[in-house]
Amino acid sequence: MPQLAINGGPKIRSKIFPASSPIGREEQAAAKRVIKSKVLSRFLGAWHEDFYGGPEVRALEKEWAKYYQVKHAITVNSATSGLYCAIGAIGTEPGDEIIVSPYSMSCSATAPLIYNAIPVFADIEENYFCLSPESIEKKITPRTKAIIAVDLFGQPYDADKINALAKKHGLMVIEDAAQAPGARYKDRFAGTLGNIGVYSLNYHKHIHTGEGGVVVTNDDDLADKIRLIRNHAEAVVERKGYSTLVNMLGFNYRMTEIEAAIGRTQLKKLKKRLAERVAHVDYLNEKLAAIPCLKPVPVRPNATHSYYIQTFRYDAKIAGLHRDKFVAAVKAELAVTELRETEGVKIGAGYVQPLYLEPLFQNKIAYGRQGCPWSCQFYSGSVDYGAGLCPVVEAMHQDILITTDLMYPEMSRRDLDDVIKAFYKVWENKNELI
């Protein structure tokens, strides 16, 4: 008689997992405060006192800058918009190349396209999954403008080596810290390691305001440009007395007062919620250590991890079956998560498909039908997006990496134990899958 649920046996858990949501009485009170004020936004797309937004937006920016020990924090309506602002602020021009990660949310790689620049993919590290400094160095050309370094899964990038490469070649570093708020590398927060850092506040991130993001920098000029791009720069530069017009076509990337008020409340909870994530990850790693085909991914030396996602390396030779079969069997033993029921059980075989394999890059078509910006007259290089481009990321995605977010703060010890039982049940009955 089969034991595994995937073969018709009983599940370890049928009860839905609790929602991951930091929304509580404090957030409700913050939202009510804004509603009562009747000021849901105070941005004006003109040179005016309200060009910089309302009181909640400005307060969040001040508090964020203090928390992260940076000179400037600029709110935006999403981390995606924040990356767009950053790409524009560094003076990106058509035909420039920007080195990006193949293993991230798509905007980390498509942001250069907004300014008709060319994404160039470097491979990732085998142990930490951030961009490999060695791979980056091989991708640098005279056309390279910047590096977008992603703190993947909450792990800070190798700031010493990548920043040194950037300095050597005169490049800017934009840090996508969407998944790493509160993580540190040595004595600095993730997000503050490069020239510009970008955080995300969307609904499944550590700080959840629905949508939203924050951009940080210690550079006064970059901060000015980010604020201008965020809020209709073209209508502001003349009266502001800003003479540099490069990329001063602005957008509406503005945050609302309710989002800012909720963000202020949740920033106060970040340290505690991060500690809970770390404790849950440590518990799962300890309890799953006796399964020989699973290996927890290490934390970079001199760094801390914020664990947006917990990851394991899977050894098919030890297990005797492919990772995908193993993961499918574990998922069959468990239930979905409240508020994310349509996404299935939150355990993954790999992460996103390597981004260069998406149709946009395979066909090199972004604007119009002619292949712009790759076919643009301003681009004098050539770039390859074929399969095999980044061997490490392809191996991780196809065969090795297991991901899960079933370690968020709302998970109880009993919830975690059910996850552990599911992994052991599949390991102990793996012959049913062979």
Render pLDDT for 42-76 as a digit per residue (tens, 0 to 9).
Answer: 999 999 999 999 999 999 999 999 999 999 999 99
DSSP alpha helices (H): ranges in 38-69? 55-68
Asked if pLDDT for residue 313 goes beyond 60, the answer is yes
Q: What is the largest CA-CA distance in the chain?
A: 78
Asked if pLDDT for residue 2 goes beyond 80, the answer is no
On whether the CB atoms of residues 163 and 430 are closer than 8 A, the answer is no
Distance CA 84, CA 92 (A): 10
71-123 pLDDT, tens digit each: 999 999 999 999 999 999 999 999 999 999 999 999 999 999 999 999 999 99
In angstroms, the Cα distances linking 362 to 80, 211, 374, 383, 384 are 22, 30, 12, 11, 9
203-215 pLDDT, tens digit each: 889 999 999 999 9
Asked if pLDDT for residue 183 goes beyond 80, the answer is yes
Q: How many CB atoms lie within 10 A of CB 155?
A: 30
Structure tokens at 289: 């250590």
Q: How many CB atoms lie within 10 A of CB 48?
A: 11
User: Under DSSP, is residue 63 helix (H, G, I), strand (E, B) or coil?
Assistant: helix
Percent of the chain topping pLDDT 90: 98
129-168 pLDDT, tens digit each: 999 999 999 999 999 999 999 999 999 999 999 999 999 9
The model's pTM is 0.97
DSSP state letters, 269-287:
THHHHHHHHHHHHHHHHHH
Q: Residue 162: which of 130, 187, 188, 121 has the closest Cα?
A: 130
Cα Rg, the chain, nearest whole Å: 23
pLDDT band for position 392 (cuts 50, 70, 90): very high
Asked if pLDDT for residue 1 goes beyond 80, the answer is no
N- to C-terminal Cα separation, the chain: 16
397-417 pLDDT, tens digit each: 999 999 999 999 999 999 999
Domains annotated on the chain, with CATH: 5-10+271-352+393-433 (3.90.1150.10), 25-268 (3.40.640.10)
The DSSP letter of residue 45 is S
The pLDDT of 190-202, averaged and rounded, is: 98
How far, rounded to the nearest angstrom, does the alpha carbon of residue 395 sit from its chain's CA centroid?
21
The residue with tokens 């009181």 is 55
21-43 pLDDT, tens digit each: 889 999 999 999 999 999 999 99
* pLDDT confidence of residue 68: 98
Distance CA 87, CA 112 (A): 6
On whether the CB atoms of residues 80 and 106 are closer than 8 A, the answer is no
* pLDDT confidence of residue 22: 87
Q: Residue 144: which of 123, 111, 124, 171 has the closest Cα?
A: 171
Tell the burial category of 378 from Cβ atoms under 10 Å away from its Cβ (0-12, 13-18, 19+): middle
Distance CA 191, CA 199 (A): 7
The pLDDT of 269-297, averaged and rounded, is: 97
* pLDDT confidence of residue 118: 98
314-346 pLDDT, tens digit each: 999 999 999 999 999 999 999 999 999 999 999
On whether the CB atoms of residues 47 and 239 are closer than 8 A, the answer is yes
Beta strands 294-296; 310-314: pairing state? antiparallel
Structure tokens at 47: 């040179």
Distance CA 275, CA 188 (A): 18
